[in-house]
Chain A
Amino acid sequence: MTSALSKVYFFLIGLFMALPMIVVAGVSVNAKQTLAFPPKGFSLSWYGEIFLNPEWRNALLASLTLAILSAALAVAIALPLAWFLWRRIAPWANIFQLLGVAPFTLPPVITALGLLTFWATTGFYGQPWTAVVSHAIFFVTLPLVTLSLGFTAIDRSLVEAAATMGADDKTIFRTVVLPLILPYIVSGYAFAFVLSLNEYIVAYMTVGFIMETLPIKIFNALRYGYTPTMASVTILFVVTAAVIFSLVARFGDLPKLLGAMSSDDT
């Protein structure tokens, strides 16, 4: 494809991806509580509203708490599993790999409904911690995939050398494996964190009646009355995601995480 044509094509795709965010950013700086674009007047007060209005602040705190805890639990489930699959020959254990990938691959409504019936049947429905467990299971796929990738990248002769010198499994894990796998733990955590922050349906079906996370709050605002705070929260989310993924790219090898070969080979 000629380069001029490909530039036009990239520009159009970029515009398609950016356009909704440009309009939402415009709406978020309206001076008055109107849904207008181009904005009428200029005000950043809707950004302040996220932190000053107790309803939005509580939703923000609920979302952050949920994302921090559930991403940690997802990594805690994925790390020993990925390590075991790398360390041992146990073909039947691959079934757990499959189980770990399934919740994210199936339509989300199915995982959400399964968890809703489960929490309702066991009588824990509505407890805040059920949302943490639910999100951890829903997003366990992300650290599992990054960690599996990370383990295959470890040179087994390093580990063998440590074993020959008399180190046991625990010592090897702490001194050799963990430092090598750390970037993948961080990126797996980051992916799960950002997606949990944005997740709506699982959170809504598990704790939607008791508490509001930011996506639930936005959805309720969408149904029951417009406020430009929705737009400012949206921009906050996009910026947060972009910053976190940029950090992952800055300190790790993003193309490799997404399936390309490492930069040394290319």
Chain B
Amino acid sequence: MRRETPQRLADYGPLFFPAMMLIVFFVVPFATMIAVSFFQRQQGGFYVPAFELSNYQRFLSLFFANVLGFSLMLAIAVAICCVVLAIPFTYLLTRMARKVQIIWLVALLSVLSLSEVIIGFAWSTLFSRTAGITNLLVMAGLMSEAKALLPSFGAVLTGMVYQAFPYTVLVLYPALVRLDPTLTEAARTLGASPIKAFFTVVVPALRNTITATLIMVFIFALGSYLLPQLLGRPQHWTLSVLITDQAIYQSNMPFAAAMAVFLVLVTLGLVALTVIAGRKGEAA
């Protein structure tokens, strides 16, 4: 059957239920959130309709600038770490036997599907004094006494790289698996070492994929709402943590909504900037 344009109204029938669900339960809530961001907060966690800019004015503070700066810096650091680790890994993975690939993919998917609560719990155990990795080092005689490695920036970064690494591999996988193997073969025939062939042929051929992956991992890392809280100090809190905190523990929905709107704008803005920069780079 060829694809046809819908002719009768009934042809649109299948679209009705999905369209209704997505509009009512995604578009409307999104709009509600934008509306609430202008509302006025009342004592006791309630809010009343109003048109206030005060929720947004709170962004113009040094505290908020620091949180935003730290969130962006952390997400960029996570994205770079993950992409640097994942490119050689995914490249080698796609060159392996299909059965081996499946085992790795199942393992990566299992880690990826883990809740942030679980990842946070697992790493806080691993970095703890009583049950942590330092106990193994003590057993091996490398350290004299076990100690806690958290809360610290290193712990936050490690936890977030752990969370985002499987995602990075799965984003890179389709592009790398379709990469023409004759490219590297040609480089090898001409005398390049495998490592040189990888850096001079594979990496340049994937420039656009790498940029796209960096953006996707960056957005993914921006969304991390628990790990900075569980593994770091208050100065390591990100915008996502702050939104959760305001919405749930401070019961300040209008401010939380304003920050969420801001987070969407920052995310979309950075994506747009990178896409524009990428186009210019190609044209040059």
User: What is the interface of chain A, defined by CB distance below 8 A to chain B?
Assistant: 1-2, 6, 9-10, 13-14, 16-17, 19-21, 23-24, 26-27, 34-38, 76-78, 80-81, 83-84, 86-90, 93, 96, 99-100, 102-103, 105-111, 113-118, 120-121, 133-134, 136-137, 140, 156, 159-160, 162-163, 172, 194-195, 198-201, 204-205, 208, 215-216, 218-219, 222, 230-231, 234, 237-238, 241-242, 245-246, 249, 254-255, 258-261, 263, 266
Given A16-B162, A199-B115: A37 in contact with B25 (beta carbons within 8 A) = no
Given A35-B125, A108-B225, A116-B247: A160 in contact with B2 (beta carbons within 8 A) = yes
Least CB distance, B253 to chain A, in whole angstroms: 6
B18 part of interface (Cβ distance < 8 Å): yes
Given A83-B14, A249-B106, A261-B177: A201 in contact with B244 (beta carbons within 8 A) = yes
Which residue of A96, A105, A199 contacts B219 across the interface (Cβ within 8 Å)? A105
Check B264 against A245 for contact (C-beta < 8 Å): no
B237 part of interface (Cβ distance < 8 Å): no
Provide the residues of chain A in CB contact with B11, threshold 8 Å. Answer: 88
CA distance A121 to B39 in the complex (A): 12
Given A77-B17, A77-B18, A255-B98: A37 in contact with B135 (beta carbons within 8 A) = yes
Check A241 against B110 for contact (C-beta < 8 Å): yes
Shortest Cβ-Cβ A-B pairs, 4 listed: A259-B174, A107-B223, A118-B29, A20-B122
Provide the residues of chain B in CB contact with A34, threshold 8 Å. Answer: 130
Which residue of A84, A163, A198, A258 contacts B115 across the interface (Cβ within 8 Å)? A198
CA distance A40 to B53 in the complex (A): 57
Given A117-B33, A218-B117: A80 in contact with B17 (beta carbons within 8 A) = yes
Check A261 against B247 for contact (C-beta < 8 Å): no
Provide the residues of chain B in CB contact with A117, threshold 8 Å. Answer: 29, 32-33, 36, 253, 257
Provide the residues of chain A in CB contact with B29, threshold 8 Å. Answer: 111, 114-115, 117-118
B248 part of interface (Cβ distance < 8 Å): yes
Task: Tell me the number of A-to-B contacts counted with CB atoms below 8 Å.
Answer: 265
Which residue of B119, B128, B198 contacts A1 across the interface (Cβ within 8 Å)? B198
CA distance A21 to B102 in the complex (A): 20
CA distance A1 to B23 in the complex (A): 50
Interface residues of B in 187-209 (CB under 8 A from A): 194-195, 198
CA distance A111 to B257 in the complex (A): 11
- Pick from B61-69, B84-92, B275-283 the stretch touching chain A: B84-92
B83 part of interface (Cβ distance < 8 Å): no
A/B interface sample: 5 pairs, CB < 8 A = A35-B128, A109-B263, A218-B121, A219-B117, A245-B105
